[in-house]
Copies of this chain bind each other. A is one copy, B any other.
């Protein structure tokens, strides 16, 4: 695969550099890695050696508790950097990342990526904006989990994912790719799988969204937003 033809380069964290000179990224890229669904990509407690970006497939970032429970703190979609934390030599990771589907990763030399991302004003701005936007999303999800009931939590997550996927152009016939199982939703939203099932059925009955196979479609965005804000 040539970086110069990458359809995601314009959305990645290195987009300013990519748009100016795609070949720079090819030089920084060490490898392209295939990872099977369910495999760990980053392990809590370690310090990642490379910077990875997601070329295809989904992954999720999660915190594992001693008793086996887990909380998914975010989903990663094509174009996302696996963990901005890996860019800087600070502490070890406090979370893990697991492939949700089969995944293809681009592997970059950390040192090289640091240089690219700090090189220009514009690049630094994009890095900061990406970090703050992830921060904002995490805070909003915390608020949703803390203060909304099941139906509002699911509505909000559906809207957020839909928006992000659309920005990346990952749309098919008026809906988006959607490999999440009830279990993922449950672990991301502080609910149980059984309860997510019941609640999804309510959302479908109210004609707010539908899911089939690996696909989700929002049927009434306005109404769904009201549910997310008020229920």
List chain B residues, Cβ under 8 A from A69: 147
Q: Are B88 and A147 neighbours in the complex by a CB distance under 8 Å?
A: no
Known: A129-B90, A132-B85, A138-B135. A143 touches B230 (CB 8 A): no
Q: Are A90 and B132 neighbours in the complex by a CB distance under 8 Å?
A: yes
| Cross-chain contact of A94 among B95, B118, B140, B146 (Cβ < 8 A) | B140
Q: Are A146 and B145 neighbours in the complex by a CB distance under 8 Å?
A: yes
Q: Are B143 and A141 neighbours in the complex by a CB distance under 8 Å?
A: no
| Cross-chain contact of A88 among B65, B66, B87, B132 (Cβ < 8 A) | B132
Q: Are B142 and A73 neighbours in the complex by a CB distance under 8 Å?
A: yes
Q: Are B125 and A71 neighbours in the complex by a CB distance under 8 Å?
A: no
Q: Are B143 and A73 neighbours in the complex by a CB distance under 8 Å?
A: yes
> In the bound complex, how far is the Cα of B61 from the Cα of A138, in angstroms?
13
Known: A145-B190, A147-B70. A139 touches B65 (CB 8 A): no
> In the bound complex, how far is the Cα of B147 from the Cα of A177, in angstroms?
28
Q: Is the CB of A54 closer than 8 A to any CB of chain B?
A: no
Q: How many chain A residues touch B (Cβ–Cβ < 8 Å)?
A: 42
| Cross-chain contact of A71 among B85, B90, B142 (Cβ < 8 A) | B142
Closest chain B CB from A81 CB (angstroms): 13
Closest chain B CB from A115 CB (angstroms): 12
List chain B residues, Cβ under 8 A from A147: 65, 69-71, 190
Q: What are the interface flags for A139-167 relative to B under an 8 Å C-beta threshold, 1 for contact and 0 otherwise?
A: 11111011100000000000000000000
Closest chain B CB from A50 CB (angstroms): 17
List chain B residues, Cβ under 8 A from A65: 143, 147, 229
Which residues in window 167-189 of A have CB below 8 A to B?
189
Q: Is the CB of A67 closer than 8 A to any CB of chain B?
A: yes
> In the bound complex, how far is the Cα of B145 from the Cα of A65, in angstroms?
13
18 A–B pairs (Cβ distance < 8 Å), ordered by A: A63-B140, A65-B143, A65-B147, A70-B143, A71-B142, A73-B142, A73-B143, A87-B128, A88-B132, A89-B125, A90-B125, A90-B133, A91-B129, A91-B132, A94-B136, A131-B135, A142-B145, A145-B190
**A interface, CB within 8 angstroms of B:** 61, 63, 65-67, 69-71, 73, 84-85, 87-91, 94-95, 118, 124-125, 128-129, 131-136, 138-143, 145-147, 189-190, 229-230
